[in-house]
Amino acid sequence: MIPELVCPAGSLAALEAAFQHGADAVYLGFRNATNARAFPGLNFTQEDMAQGIRTAHRHGKKVYLALNTYPDSAHMSLWKESIDQAVALGVDALIIAEISLLAHAARHHPGIPRHLSVQGSATTPAALRFFHEQFGISRAVLPRVLSLAQVERLCEQAPVAIEVFAFGSLCIMVEGRCQLSSFVTGHSPNSQGVCSPAAHVHWAELPGNRREVRLNNVLVDQFEPDEAASYPTLCKGRYRNGDNLAYVLEEPVSLNTLSILPRLAQAGVAALKVEGRQRGPAYVAQVTRVWREALEALKAPTPFAVQPAWQKQLSHVSEGLQTTLGPYHRDWH
């Protein structure tokens, strides 16, 4: 089975780029706090989403709504209304993390497929059975904390289809359930949808064409003139530990699973997800094109081989200009 290729869309331009270069589906969010990429200038109004869905369906593609943050009791209506609006616009599935919202979707829109968000952090057959039996989920996005052997076992035992992340930025927290950003800025990524809110990010020029970046006046990193600088997050900043200045928590690096693609497909993984709704259309186009070529190569009668050109293209858009298999390479069972 060739997995479905699910690509990010932070804008209409990114959505169109994904479909032009081979995506089977895109995932996107409303321009509010209901999704975990609520950066200014990103995401969709109702009008944009309606246009994107028409574009997708015209080409036989799908659109999934990411509703993957956690509401508080005072603002629950925004999340429920977003579900209702997306269904009215014609989305093909709902990606939801919080159980009361899964219940709302199951009760009021039983005909729309429900996918458990990676933020739901379900990593065992028992957890997946619970969400399937209680809320009728048909697919679950696995957290990026499992080894390949664990993913293969879940594919064998899970009552629902399995989706895994194939490429993109990593997070050392439990899939975005982070307290670092909220501790420094007062804004929780888990409920307000953004890590390192743009209003709190401050860049400054230093002597010698060097740069520094702060998050709410906390120094996160400094860069040499020719050094690549990614969007600042506290977990991927450089800090002084004794006499050593280094990435103490996590280095900027992107997940890249091309080398294990045949095993993921053989295991029965239903969908491969590309991270990056905060990235531009050029990123979406380049990554989608590479992964479509790789998936098509799986169909060939000759043994699958990762092409150097694919790796080179992906390295150009990787966070920190390097890639890793992350937890997939571990020998856990």
Distance, CA of 219 to CA of 233 (rounded, Å): 11
pTM of the model: 0.92
Distance, CA of 67 to CA of 76 (rounded, Å): 12
Q: How would you class 181 by CB atoms within 10 Å of its CB: exposed for 0-12, middle for 13-18, buried for 19 or more?
A: buried
Determine the pLDDT at residue 196: 84
103's tokens: 């219940």
Determine the pLDDT at residue 332: 61
Residues of the chain with pLDDT under 70: 174-177, 321, 332-333
Determine the pLDDT at residue 333: 60
pLDDT mean across residues, the chain? 91
| pLDDT tens digits, one per residue of 67-111 | 999 998 888 999 999 999 999 999 999 999 999 999 999 999 999
- Nearest-5° angle of CA 66, CA 259, CA 151? 55
Determine the pLDDT at residue 228: 78
Quick one: 4-170+253-329 is in which CATH superfamily? Aldolase class I (3.20.20.70)
**Closest residue by Cα to residue 61 from 96, 105, 31, 18:** 18
Q: Can you give the residue ranges of every domain in the chain?
A: 4-170+253-329, 180-247
